[in-house]
A = this chain, B = another copy of it.
Amino acid sequence: MVLYAGRHLHLLRTTSGWEYAHRPQARGIVAVLALTDDRRVLLTEQYRPPVRARVIELPAGLAGDIPLMEDEPLVTAARRELREETGYTAREFIKLMSGPSSAGMSTEIITLFQATGLTKVGEGGGDGSENIRVHAIPVRELRAWCREREEEGLLVDFKIHAALQLAVETAGGRRLWQ
């Protein structure tokens, strides 16, 4: 049953008493491990009110939350979010995995894509309500770079590391993530 219907988030309870959060508008969430030809990973930095901190994340967003685009395929949403947030388009999208972000407390399932063949076509920064800074970090330096951001008080999303672990070799056969 719905305990409270917020505008963007609902709080629900199962008959056995388990409470959890649910986003009613979204069909899914997508996140993108975008790898440039010179072996950099595109990351976003933005303030996240729930954790009261700037957070380093993969470009990501909701699928199906735009009126008249409720049936938007996940890969289309991934392409749109990558473009909106980073200003890059990609030639190839590969689905890496779908999984829950916090299976004990929300219905959120995130689908992770790897994008390659990138071209910069705009500035990125988000859809206007967002205030996103974009970073292009060499894969080899990513871990140290994330640790430095943490030392500065920023938070780093786990999915960055998960995506690197899951990244697959591209047709060229180079292990892009090492």
- Which residues on the B side are within 8 Å of A160 (C-beta)? 162
Q: How far is the CA of A148 from the CA of B23 in the complex (A)?
A: 29
Cβ A103 vs Cβ B57 within 8 A: yes
Q: A30 at interface (Cβ–Cβ under 8 A)?
A: no
Q: How many residues of A contact B (CB 8 A)?
A: 52
Query: How many copies of this kind of chain does the complex include?
Result: 2
Interface flags, A50-67, vs B, CB<8A=1, else 0: 110101010000000000
Q: B159 and A50: CB pair below 8 A?
A: no
Contact B11 A21 (CB under 8 A): yes
Query: Which listed residue, B19, B99, B164, touches A7 by the CB 8 Å rule?
Result: B19
Q: A residues bordering B, Cβ < 8 Å?
A: 3-4, 6-9, 11, 13-14, 16-23, 48-51, 53, 55, 57, 97-110, 112, 143, 150, 155-162, 164-166
